[in-house]
């Protein structure tokens, strides 16, 4: 093996893909972790993930419950923690 990963006895891992759908154009597709953003707020109402539809370029924002947060963070999606101001 000529790769650095192979040199250290590691194997390459396929990138994580997330299935998603656009509420605007109804397209269904897979997105990489880099195409998604996760915002974690103080409540369920302020916790969501977002992406741009690759078909119609609409900005999509969907609520993220505990399980979705777990899957997205585990898959390497960039996360922003929202803080409330006093």
Q: What do you get for the CA distance between the two ends of the chain, in Å? A: 56
Q: What is the pLDDT of residues 24-80, one digit of tens each?
A: 999 999 999 999 999 999 988 899 999 999 999 999 999 999 999 999 999 999 999
Which of these, 78, 81, 67, lies nearest to 34 by C-alpha position? 78
Burial class (CB in 10 A: 0-12, 13-18, 19+), 52: middle
pLDDT (mean) for 9-28 = 86
pTM: 0.77
């Amino acid at each position: 093996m000529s790769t650095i990963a192979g040199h250290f006895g590691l194997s390459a891992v396929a990138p994580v893909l997330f299935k998603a759908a656009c509420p605007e154009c109804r397209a269904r597709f897979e997105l990489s972790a880099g195409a998604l953003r996760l915002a974690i707020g103080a409540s369920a109402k302020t916790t969501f993930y977002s992406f741009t539809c690759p078909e119609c370029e609409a900005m999509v924002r969907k609520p993220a419950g505990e399980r979705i947060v777990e899957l997205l963070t585990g898959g390497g999606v960039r996360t922003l923690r929202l803080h409330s101001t006093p």
